[in-house]
Each structure stands twice: as structure tokens, then as C-alpha cells.
Structure 1
Amino acid sequence: MLNQPVLVYDGDCAFCTTSVNFVTRRLRPNCAVTAWQFADLASLGVTQPRAEREVLWISPQGTVHGGAQAVAKLLLRSGGSWAWLGGLLELPPARWFAHGIYRLVATNRARLPGGSPACALPADRGPGARTPQGR
């Protein structure tokens, strides 16, 4: 069991790193933040392919949320006016919309400001790709 939630992101992706730095500086969520490349993924209960594919939020109880739902959990944990937005992103149809937007951003992160070739996702690990476990 963890002491606090953990946000796991792709440290090789300049867009992801810039986004996480902005969020931690502005929103100040009460959580640990680590690049998957430096995390003990097995102890967090996630695989490398999943960590490469999407941002992850691991609760202190070990529940893993990925993509848009990880963002929703981050916003909820940030409190204040951000918490209502996080709560909204957990409810349909906002949840479905957020998932689509997240997939669009994740798929194109190499083309976004701050993106680089290292941000490109392998085709077999892009958003929505199936892992061997069917996730």
C-alpha cells in the first residue's frame, strides 16, 4: 500500500514532461510524481507497455486509473475549483468526451508544442491498443 497517490508519466516525452511540470507547479496536487522510466512499475501494479501508452494515477490502495481518468483523479486531488472539473470528468458523457480528447492528444503528442520524436507512440502501444491482458 502506498502513502499517497502516484502520478506516472512518460519522462522521455517532452510534451508530457512539460505538461506534468505545469500541472504540479500550478495545481499542486498532493501526490508523488514520477516518470515511468524511474518507477518500480511492478510494485505499482502496472506494466511498461501501459505506462508507455498513457499517464497513470495509482491510488494508495493500488487502484490504477489511466488516461483521461488519471487526469480526473489528479484534478480531484488538486482540490479547489479543479476538483469539480475532475468530478465532472468521471461522469458520462463528459467521461466519454474526455477519453476521446485524451486519445487524440496522446496519439499526436509528438506534433504538439514541446513534442519530439521521442514522444511518438509505437503503433502497437498507441491509445486504445490492447495489451496481452486485454486492457
Structure 2
Amino acid sequence: MSTRDELIAIASTYLFQGLLEHKPDEVLFAEDCVRMEMGWETGGNAQQLRELLAGDAYLANKAITDLVWVVEDPYVDARFCLELHGMDVVMRIATRFRIENGEIKHIEILFNGGELHSLIMQATEPLRTDL
């Protein structure tokens, strides 16, 4: 069993090294990690997720604010606002991580993109691996 701080540190690699710092190789993914966004599977393994995080779409991410953690091993929930460069829109995001053996095994993302919501949903459709 991991401590609360250890679980948060593991999940934080996705938020900070992955989403903000554009260092996907530092994210602690399990090799078979699956990512779901708004009910769609948008990543089925560590290599695919690292490639996605290295893409241009994530360069717009500016800052994470109002971050709140809820931890119940093996689950770590992060609720936060994501600020984007050059936009007044703030995305509200809820992300659940399942941590196993010190790695992120599963990610479930729900978000409200405000004015950008429908655009983001259209942009993520080609990432779906469940079609």
C-alpha cells in the first residue's frame, strides 16, 4: 500500500511533466496504461500516450490552478482548472488515476471546456481507439 503523498507524486507526473512541461518520458505510465476521455478510449499504452503528450495540442497548456486531490488507494482524483495560452477560457477538469506498482495504470478524464468544449470533442475523436 502506498502513502497518499506517494500516490499524488505518481499522478502529478502526468499533470506537470506531461501536460505542462512537455516531458512525456518522465510520466510514470504502466506499459499497458489506458486513457479515457469523456467515455472514449484515447490511448492504449505508454508509448501512444507519450506520443500524444509530445504533440502540438498540449503546447497550449499554460497552468494548472485550483488543484484538489482526493486519494483512496489505488485511486487518485485530481480536480483542477487548466489555463491555456492566449485564451480567456479556463477548462475545468476531473481526472481519476488508478495507480498500480508505482505506475499510472488507468486514466479517466472528464472536462468542461466552456466555449471550446465542442471543438475539443471534435479534435479528440480521431484519437479514439474504440471505434
TM-score by length of 2: 0.30
More strand by share: 2
TM-score by length of 1: 0.29
